[in-house]
Amino acid sequence: MSRKPKAVPLSKIEDIQTSLKQKAATPKTISLSDLVLSLAKPIQDMLDAGYSYEDVSDVFKGHGVELAASGLKSFHKKASTSTDNNLSNSSSDKAVEESVNSDSEPESTDSSTT
C-alpha cells in the first residue's frame, strides 16, 4: 500500500531555503588534535628539514589557527605515536601472517591431535 504524498504549503519553501542556506554557511570544524593528526606527515617533513615547532606554529598562525608550539609538539607526538603504532601493528600482523602461511614452518607437534 503506497502513501499519498503530503502537501506542503508554498510558504514553507522560503523558510526551508533560509534554513538550508544557514546550515551551508556554517563552516564545519575539526579539533586541533585531529588537524595535527591529519597534517602529521608534512609537519614531520618540515621538522626534518630543520625547522622548529615554533616555525610550524607560525605557519598555522599564518592561516588563522592559533596553536602554541608546545601544544603543536604534544599533538604531533601523539599523532606520531598513533601512526607508528598503526604501522608497527600492521607490520607485526603481516609478519605473523607470513609465518603462519610459511611452508618452512614445522607442523604442530601437539600430540593430542594424533
Whether 80 is covered by a domain: the verdict is yes
Please answer whether residues 35 and 72 qualify as being in contact, where contact means their C-beta atoms are separated by less than 8 angstroms: no
Helix (H) or strand (E) holding 92, with range, is helix 69-101
As a whole number of angstroms, the distance between CA 80 and CA 103 comes to 36
pLDDT tens-digit profile of 27-51? 889 999 999 999 999 999 999 999 9
Report the domain count for the chain: 1
Average pLDDT (81-99) is: 56
Residue 14 lies in a domain: no
Give the torsion sign (CA, 15, 17, 22, 23).
Answer: positive
Inside any domain, residue 13: no
Is residue 54 in some structural domain? yes
Has residue 9 been placed in a domain? no
| pLDDT in the model for residue 91 | 47
The whole-number pLDDT of residue 82 equals 79
**Residue 43 counted as domain residue:** yes
Dihedral sign (CA 105, 106, 107, 112): negative
Choice between 22 and 95, residue whose per-residue pLDDT is larger: 22
- Chain mean pLDDT for the chain: 80
The three-class DSSP label of residue 103 is coil
**Residue 97 is assigned to a structural domain of this protein:** no
Place 80 in a pLDDT band, splitting at 50, 70 and 90: confident
- List the domain range (segments joined by +) for residue 65: 29-84
Q: What is the pLDDT of residue 81?
A: 86
DSSP state of 29: -
Q: Does a structural domain hold residue 46? A: yes
pLDDT at 63 over 70: yes
Grid cell, residue 88, equals 608497527
